[in-house]
Amino acid sequence: MSYDQTQSLMSWGRYPTVKQAVYSALSPLRIEPSAWGSNWLPYGNGRSYGDVCLNEGGILVPTRRLDKFLSFDKQSGLLTVESGVLLSEILSVAVPQGFFLPVTPGTKFVTVGGAIANDVHGKNHHRAGTFGHHVTRLSLLRSDGTIYECSLQENEALFRATVAGMGLTGLILNATIKMIPIVSDQIAQETIKFETLTEFFQISSQSEAKYDYTVAWIDCIKAAPHLGRGHMICGNHSDVAGTLCAGKAPKLALPFNFPSWLLNGTTVGVFNEVYYQRQRSKLKKRSVHYDPFFYPLDGILNWNRMYGKEGFVQFQTVIPKPEAQAAVTEILKIASASGMGSFLAVLKEFGQMKSVGTLSFPRPGVTLCLDFPMRAHKTVPLMQRLEQITVDSGGALYSAKDALMSAASYAQMYPALSEFTKWIDPHCSSSFARRVGII
């Protein structure tokens, strides 16, 4: 954790960069929202991509000083922590004691507050739903100084607004998570190589029936007939009792921004070819530590610098099942034709569980995640086309990743918006909320 008051705060995509003030004097035992003015937003660890964690012209209230564990009942698995605790810190304490996070996103460097505010999801969505499904209660501080105890049993509507509420309902002080018991830090992993997108759809439901965790990495540079080839990566927590060691700290860090020409269609195409052919056989099983299974990129600190100074944007969409294959094929064709390198392309089928939050992103369908370097004249029209395909297919974009979508699209993707607005704290706002018309 950095105590540095001189640094400016950004989002993970490093786009957009905005001017905002930072309230750096948060004292965990004497929190006074009246000192934050009338336009503030809580800020966790800044791992969301676009502007959902930014507040241009306003104040950000960093929560990382709320970094303590409050209690852990090992009989019930209920862990209560302050909202600034990172998921990585939870793992370093819980794994040696035989417990794991019930849902984890692709990076462990997010705060609990951030995980709730974006209602993050993971590779086990088809079994376990979202992070919000496993939060049994939370304490919310509003700008008038009132603290609300929120859960499905108490202040339910405020709870549902706060889950996926992007910090707009107030500052989460602490929350209780129901952890899951494990007997080993290993994951029994199976990787299946598939040649086409059609094959992905064929094997996806089979994999989801056998495995708790499934996700596909796909090559989005390669054009037809191999469009959408990739690896289906599945895993279960090992049921063989073994060591319970938390992961090691990353040793590799990118100390500076790469030049922006480094990641392009050609270089990424080469990377994808090597990565796809890395596995010779069709099916491969092995046991891996949970760290590289869940958090392959966390091993490189500041990997976002690979995209250069202008930053990058992420496109994550969910398309309902009937339209999914056609829409995903079209999106991949456009992405491949654009020549803009995206080597982090991820595809997964969501489960049927209805999300807890009023504005939660995950819903039944197929989710596709791509990223593109930010080259304003090329990236913006590309993202607009992809956004249109999403809207036309009845899908939605993920606010935690978005930097460009229009207010009209947002309203169509999140029809429950009118239920949410009454719970917004009058003194909370964000760049994202103003851009897409929530505020």
Partner 1 sequence: MDRSSLFLIVCKKGWYYMKTVLVLGATSAIVLETIKHYAQTGAKILLVGRDALNLQRIADDLKVRGASAVNCYVNELSGTDSARQLFAQIPDDEKNEIDIVYIGYGLLPDNEQSIKDEPLRHAALQVNFLSVVEHILQWFNFFVPFGMQTNISRNRVIAVISSVAGLRGRRTNAVYGAAKGGLNTFLSGLRSKGTESGVRVLTILPGFVDTPMTAGIKKGPLFASAEVVGKRIFQALQGKDDVLYVPWFWRLIMLIICLIPEKIFKKLKF
Binding residues among 22-41 for partner 1 as defined by CB under 8 A: 24, 28-29
Interaction of residue 266 with partner 1, rule CB under 8 A? no
Q: How many helices (H) and strands (E) does the chain have?
A: 12, 20
Q: How far is the CB of 288 from partner 1 (least distance, A)?
A: 18
Per-residue contact flags (x/-) with partner 1 for residues 409 to 438, judged by CB under 8 A:
------------------------------
Amino acid at 146: T
> CB-based burial of residue 219 (10 Å sphere; 0-12 exposed, 13-18 middle, 19+ buried)?
buried
Per this entry, what is the length of the chain?
Answer: 439
Number of residues that bind partner 1 (CB under 8 A): 23
* Candidate list 8, 57, 68, 384; residue touching partner 1; CB under 8 A: 68
To the nearest 10 degrees (0 to 180), the angle between helices 321-338 and 376-392 is: 160
The phi and psi torsions of 144 (rounded to 5 degrees) equal -85, 5
Asked if 256 interacts with partner 1 (CB under 8 A), we say: no
- Least spacing, CB of residue 89 vs partner 1, in Å: 9
Based on CB atoms, which residue is closest to partner 1, 157 or 183?
183
Structure tokens at 244: 């319970």
β-strands 147-150, 135-141: how paired?
antiparallel
Instruction: Give the number of other CB atoms < 10 A from CB of residue 4.
Output: 7
Contact assessment for residue 66 and residue 57, using Cβ atoms and an 8 Å cutoff: no
Give CA–CA dist 400/186, Å, rounded: 29
What minimum distance in Å lies between the beta carbon of 66 and partner 1?
10
143 binds partner 1 (CB under 8 A): no
Give least dist CB 154 to partner 1, A.
23
| Pairwise CA distance, residues 341 & 113, whole Å | 32
Minimum distance of partner 1 from residue 226's CB (angstroms): 44
Please give the Cα distance from 378 to 260 (Å, whole number). Answer: 14
Q: Check binding of 96 to partner 1 (CB under 8 A).
A: yes
Smallest gap from Cβ 246 to partner 1, in A, equals 8
d(CA 408, CA 429): 19
Out of 8, 34, 97, 202, name the contact with partner 1 by CB under 8 A: 97
Of the candidates 167, 291, 274, which has an alpha carbon nearest to the alpha carbon of residue 235?
291
Q: x/- binding map, residues 98-137, to partner 1, per CB under 8 A?
A: x---------------------------------------
Residue 54 · residue 16 · CB < 8 Å? yes
**Residue 65 or 284: which CB sits closer to partner 1?**
65
Return the structure tokens found at 252. 């590799």
Q: Which of 10, 21, 22, 93 binds partner 1 (CB under 8 A)?
A: 93
| 250 interacts with partner 1 by CB under 8 A | no
Tell whether residue 271 is a contact of partner 1 (CB under 8 A).
no
Which of these ranges, 64-72, 114-122, 310-318, 374-382, lies near partner 1 under the rule CB under 8 A? 64-72
| Residue of the chain from 34, 71, 198, 202 that contacts partner 1 (CB under 8 A) | 71
* Residue 36 to residue 230: CA distance in whole angstroms: 48
Task: Name the segment binding partner 1 (CB under 8 A); options: 238-246, 316-324, 347-355, 403-411.
Answer: 238-246
Helix (H, G, I), strand (E, B) or coil at 368: strand
> Contact at 8 Å (CB) between 272 and 221?
yes
In the complex, least distance from residue 307 CB atom to partner 1, rounded to whole angstroms: 22
Q: Which of 8, 38, 205, 243 binds partner 1 (CB under 8 A)?
A: 243
d(CA 419, CA 413): 14
Taking contact as CB under 8 A, which single stretch among the options 68-76, 102-110, 207-215, 313-321 is the one that binds partner 1? 68-76
- H/E segment holding residue 93: helix 87-94
Instruction: Output the smallest distance, CB 172 to partner 1, in A.
Output: 17
Torsion sign across C-alpha atoms 48, 53, 56, 60: negative
- Which of 41, 79, 328, 356 touches partner 1 by CB under 8 A? 79
CB of 96 to partner 1, least distance (A): 4
Q: How far is the CA of 147 from the CAs of 49, 221, 416, in angstroms?
A: 29, 50, 25
Q: Which of residues 352-411 bind partner 1 (CB under 8 A)?
A: none
Q: Which is nearer to partner 1, 63 or 204 (CB)?
A: 63
Q: Between β-strands 300-301 and 252-253, what pairing exists: parallel, antiparallel or unpaired?
A: parallel
Which one of the spans 4-12, 125-133, 279-287, 300-308 is the region binding partner 1 (CB under 8 A)? Answer: 4-12
* Chain positions contacting partner 1, by CB under 8 A: 1-7, 24, 28-29, 68-72, 79, 93, 96-98, 243-245
